[in-house]
Amino acid sequence: MEQEDTPAAAVSSRPRRWVIAGLATATIAALGATLSWHERAEARGPMMGGPFGFGGGSSDPAVRAKRIDAMVQWMLADLNATDDQRSKISSILQAAANDLQPLRQQHMQARSAVMQLLAAPTIDRAQLETLRVQQIQLADTASKRMTQAMADAADVLNADQRAKLVAKWQHHGHGHGAQS
């Protein structure tokens, strides 16, 4: 049976796409919040962070855990989430953040290496390309881990809670095409 390509079919698939997009954004933000917060991001709110969590955040697991817990509380505040759901999602995101920490360190080392190569009297283009390829692979590894965490966290919530979470994200301008 062919999939119907009608306006009604497109509308019926939109909520699912928004749920997936919202959870993806939430996961990325959560991991970014745990790995790459800058002091100025603190003033913008608990959901700000760099892409793939790479940046200048704390490497202290206790600090990351505290930030994840705060972010989970904010995310689930209006969703009638149970304490068990909050705990499970926090654990999922903390495990992902811990798994991503070595990737963050590798990214920062590569960034330093790029700066050294660019400051050299002669530019080693082959080495720059090697580092670029490594960073793409690193980003792919991070993306896969975040997608796993996103799916695991989504499994903890029911459909109504996921829809409310997406609406919350849309309201706060975190989704594609959302208005702030």
Q: Specify if 2 maps to a domain.
A: no
Residue 137 belongs to domain spanning: 12-171
Q: Specify if 176 maps to a domain.
A: no
pLDDT for the residue 53: 41
Amino acid symbol at 101 = Q
pLDDT for the residue 171: 80
Q: Specify if 165 maps to a domain.
A: yes
Query: What average pLDDT values come out for the chain (180 residues) when binned by 10 residues?
Result: 50 55 51 39 37 49 90 91 95 94 91 94 95 93 94 94 87 55
Contact in structure between 149 and 89 (CB atoms under 8 Å): no
- The DSSP-derived string for 6-55 is SHHHHHHHHHHHHHHHHHHHHHHHHHHHHH---HHHHHH-TT---GGG-S
Q: Specify if 106 maps to a domain.
A: yes
Q: Specify if 6 maps to a domain.
A: no
pLDDT for the residue 159: 94
pLDDT for the residue 91: 95
pLDDT for the residue 168: 86
Q: Please give the tally of structural domains in the chain.
A: 1
Q: Specify if 163 maps to a domain.
A: yes
pTM, to two decimals: 0.63
Q: Specify if 122 maps to a domain.
A: yes
Q: Specify if 76 maps to a domain.
A: yes
pLDDT for the residue 147: 93
